[in-house]
Each structure stands twice: as C-alpha cells, then as structure tokens.
Amino acid sequence: MAAFCRGRHRWKRNTYFQIITRNLTGKFDYDLVVIGGGSGGLACSKEAAQLGQKVAVLDYVEPSVKGSKWGLGGTCVNVGCIPKKLMHQTALLGSAVEDAKKYGWQIPGPVSHDWSTMAEAVQNYIRSLNWGHRVQLQDKKVKYLNLKGRLVDDHTVSGLTRAGKETILTARNIVIATGGRPKYPTHVPGAVEHGMTSDDIFWLNESPGKTLVVGASYVALECAGFLTGLGLDTTVLVRSIALRGFDQQMAGLVTDHMRDHGTTFCWRSVPRRVERLGSGELQVTWTDTGTGQDQVDTFQSVLWAVGRAPETRALGLEGLGVRLNQDTGKILVAADEATSVPGLYAVGDICQGRPELTPTAIRAGRLLARRLAGQTAQLMNYDNVATTVFTPLEYGCVGLSEEEAESKHGKDSIEVYHAFYKPLEFTVAEKDASQCYIKVVCERGGDQKILGMHITGPNAGEVTQGFSMGFQWGATYRQLVETVGIHPTCAEELTKLNISKRSGLDATVTGC
C-alpha cells in the first residue's frame, strides 16, 4: 500500500509540474493528441500530420469479456466491417458453388466448410492491416502510443500502459475517437458468463456451432446471415422489429429471404436466462410476448447483438464539464465536432446523433484536422449518407425511408416508384428472386426530387454507392429514368422504374 501511495503522489507531482510548465511557457508537447486508433482517429491524425502538425495517437484495446483482443485500427478493421464482409463473402461463395452445378461445373462429392481455415485467413489479413496502420503512422511522423488515454484537463492527457506506467502529454487540441463496444443484457442471468458479442465471433478459431443470435440490428442479421450461409443451424431472437431505423418494407424482404434460406426467426421474443448444461451446451429460455409462453432450446453458442455503448466511462469527461447525452452516454458535439469544452473535439461513433459508419468518421476526422490546421472552414455533411446491410441478400439505401418520407412530407405529397426484378445471375441457377426489389421515394410535385432510394439484391452496396452521388446533388425521378442503363445489370433496373405504388399496377419486371 505504501508503495502504491508513493507512486500516486509521484504521479500527482509529475502531472502538476507539467501542467504548471505548460501554463507558464504556453508550449505544448503536441499540436494534436488523438485518443483512439479507429477509423476516425487515424484519419484525423494522419491528415493533421500531413498539414505540418505535431501529432500523437493513443490507442489501447481492453480485451472483451471473453478475452478477445486485437491491434490498431478500431472496430471496423478488427471486429466490424472487414471481417464481417469477408465472412459474408465466404457464405456467398458457398452458395455460388451450388449455383455452379447448374452452369455445368462438375463438383464431385458434397461441399463442406472448414471454419478454422477461414478464421486463420481472415485473422491474418486483419493483422496485416494492424501492421499497415502502424507503418502509415510512422511514415507520416505520427507518434503512436499503445496507452490507455484519460483526460487530466482540457490540454493534458494521461496515458497508462497495461502494467500501469504513466505518460503525460500536453496538446493544443485533443480529439476523442474511442468509438463503442457491444453491450450485454446484464439483467439476463447467464448472459455475460455464457454469451459472446461481435467482439468475439470474428476471433473464434473453431466453429461456434448451433448459434442463437439475440437482436435484430444490422449486426445481428449480418452475423446470422453468414452463419447460416456457412451451414450452421442459426436462430434469431427478435424483441420487436428488424432493422429499426431502416425502411420496414425492405427490412421485411431481408428477413423473409433469410428465413427462406434457413435462418429461424423467433419474433416478439425476450430472453430470460442462459444456463450451461452438463453436456456443455447452453440452454436458453425466452418468452414469447405474444402468447406469454416460455420457450426453451439448446445451443452451442449465444451471440448478443443488442446494441453498442460508447467508450466514454474511463475518459474523465464529466469531471471536465464535457456534456454527454444522459440516455446514451455519447458526447454532445456541435457541427464542427467541438465538445462543450474548448479545445476538446470528438469524431465517430462516440458522438451523439452521428451515423455509426466508418466512412463518415473518416471524412469527419479529416475535415476536423484541416479546420484545426486553419486550412478550411468546411464542415462534415452528415445528411443522406448511403449504407448497406450485408445480409445474404444485400440491402442498400440512401436518404429517407418510405415511413420517414410520409412523416415529413405527408403521404399525398410523395410518389413511390417500385419494381420486383430478377437478376440475370439467378435465372440459370433457378434461384428465388421474390425478395429482389427496388423502391425510389420521390416528391410528388414539381421535378419529383428523389427523397430515398432502396434496393435489395446481389451487390446492393455497389449499386447504391454509384447512385448516391446523384442523390447527393438533388437528382430527380426524371433524371433517373433518362439515364441509360448498363445491360444486363441489377443497377439498370433503377433507370427503368415506371410503376408507382399509387397506380396499383403489377410491379414485376418481365423480359428486357
């Protein structure tokens, strides 16, 4: 105890000395210190360094409850977009092997998947990205510190190593970009002890086996989709609706497709407890809120996908007067990413009201760096950012959902053009295309400005990305249909839309 107290007093003396020195000289160790080595933080730090700023990045990953840990790059690189898309692709390849037989490929014997081989390949690629980020920081002369950062005051950061050794840094400006981590439903007995989250599933070296996915967010559905695609018995427990915040007609098409291709859905279901049996299996009890009846089944793994919480608790924000949303714990920021404390900024998932998307964090980080360096006054435009849900049948969208358009403009003031279509790839393979659908929501009057675009189908993300540029610049329905399509593609179907929901006509595309 005495040694601890002496160390604590030394910490206080060292910190106090550095703060006094800074105040007397007006000099800082760095122009910018970034806490968090994810997409937003890395983009901000590298941009600032290129503009001549002296920059340091602190990044430290607390292992998950299950002990999963990873390197530099944040959620997207390690436990999000990158491994998710690679495992999604793995599942698509399995489906393509089956399709190939219809196209004449001779494939002897049954096709099976080896999780360990996939996991090793995916994890090796992630590690290469971790290393690549470190090299990029070094090349751009950004100081990388594997330290857990905490704010001492508005210009001072304390960084601790895993062993507890402290480093004090001072900076003219500080950017917080620590992102978020998955939540556990701690009120459910056995949830933490026997479950895992998206922080763990991508780092499993062995197959999770029969899996229960609890939640209906895009994370839940994407994971359930690729697990089913890899041949695993997968069940999704849904409390209310799927893909909250997305167009609900499109969400229904996504879950219908997943159901038709082997994923089991238990709707209106609330988990009650998870118990480990003597066999090692997990017995899960949940309640069907429609009937009030309890249901019980056994699984080898339980994946919780019930939301994410911002990494703000250990940063010392409230002691400095940084305003937080009391419901979400996220940081309240202005249009220029400034917090309520001068000199402190935040970017990415940790900010209230920002899309939890990697590209928005990257662009916001870069623009913030340019503003802090006096290069521009441009603010990040968070409106109408395109996104895609990488379920087995992808769902891409940009702009308003049909529900949002009705709420904002009134049902009589919008026109919805739509079509069910069949990708050419599905024909010879005899694949069901009943959930391949396009919807474009427009203003009803004037030039019929497009308010929202939605598509379910193969490569929906690639399709949405291209059309989103026109959408950002105020594209109209007339401009859309006057665009000559590329034949034969799924994207082409958007340029051929001519049936409105209001007309009541059959929206099924036939022939060319």
Active site residues: 487
Q: Which residues contact 462 (CB under 8 A, 6 or more apart)?
A: 491
Residue 52's φ and ψ, nearest 5 degrees, are: 90, 5
Q: Return the amino acid letter for 213.
A: V
- Angle of helix 115-139 versus helix 81-102 axis, rounded to 10: 140
Half-sphere exposure of 299 (CA within 13 A, CB side): 26
The pair of three-digit structure tokens given for residue 226, joined into one six-digit string: 């690729």
Residue 160's φ and ψ, nearest 5 degrees, are: -115, 140
d(CA 53, CA 371): 12
The C-alpha R_g of the chain, in whole angstroms, comes to 25
Q: Are strands 30-35 and 294-299 parallel, antiparallel or unpaired?
A: unpaired
The full length of the chain comes to 512
**Residue 148 CB burial class (10 angstroms; 0-12, 13-18, ≥19):** buried
What is the maximum span of the chain, computed from C-alpha positions, in angstroms?
83
Evaluate the CA torsion angle 181, 139, 122, 96 in order and state its sign. Answer: positive
d(CA 349, CA 76): 11
The span from the first CA to the last CA of the chain, in angstroms, equals: 80
Are 494 and 398 within 8 A, CB to CB?
no
CA 512 to chain centre: 37
The pair of three-digit structure tokens given for residue 110, joined into one six-digit string: 């049954």
Half-sphere exposure of 9 (CA within 13 A, CB side): 6
Half-sphere exposure of 222 (CA within 13 A, CB side): 24
Q: Which residues contact 489 (CB under 8 A, 6 or more apart)?
A: none
